[in-house]
Amino acid sequence: MAKSLQSQIKGIERDMVREMNKMVKRANKKINPVILPTQLDSTSSALNFNEYHQDNSTHVSVGGDMMNSQIGGRNNSITVIYTDTDIEKILENIKEYSRTLKDEEQTELVTMLHEIQMSGKVENHMIFFDKHPILAMAFSAIVTWGIDNGMDSLVNIISRVFE
């Protein structure tokens, strides 16, 4: 009885593996590779990524020429455009993050926000930013946005979030 139950379970496992492999093969046939744009117009020299599934896991194959790709090319830049609502969300995230800081770090954070409102820049806080690199990135985005869109707008957003 126990032996026949074990053989039934093994049979079910084999059938499940066969069906899973069939599904994976069908899915792999339908997936098209993603081709990244290149500096040249030749798509054959671009990097291409192809996702496929095997043994219940996902694999990504990468092919193409890295030198002619925008990823591997030189002097390529990506411009990220922030809106005032994005800056407001960043400041709200800073406010949430500040709850995890020690008292003296919270005081330094408040000092930095005042510096931004007064002079439009943050200086002499490298030790703090070394401890909290995520805040360094956030402040970089905030200051850049303030320079591009006017410090008055930034001051209004800061006061609205931290009222």
Q: Note whether residue 79 is domain-resident.
A: no
| Residue range(s) defining the domain that contains residue 58 | 2-63
- Rounded to whole angstroms, the Cα distance separating 17 from 55 reads 9
Check whether 18 has a pLDDT greater than 80: yes
Same domain? 55 vs 100: no
Same domain, yes or no, for 105 and 53? no
Q: Smallest Cα–Cα separation from 18: which of 26, 66, 61, 50?
A: 26
Q: What confidence tier does 44 reach under pLDDT thresholds 50, 70, 90?
A: low
Instruction: Say if residue 15's pLDDT is above 50.
Output: yes
- The total domain count for the chain is 2
Please indicate, yes or no, whether residues 58 and 96 belong to a single structural domain of this protein.
no
Residue 148 lies in a domain: yes
pTM beyond 0.75: the answer is no
Q: Give 96: exposed, middle or buried? Use CB within 10 Å, 0-12, 13-18, 19+.
A: exposed
- The band of 83, judged by pLDDT with boundaries at 50, 70 and 90, is confident
Strand partners, 49: 34, 62
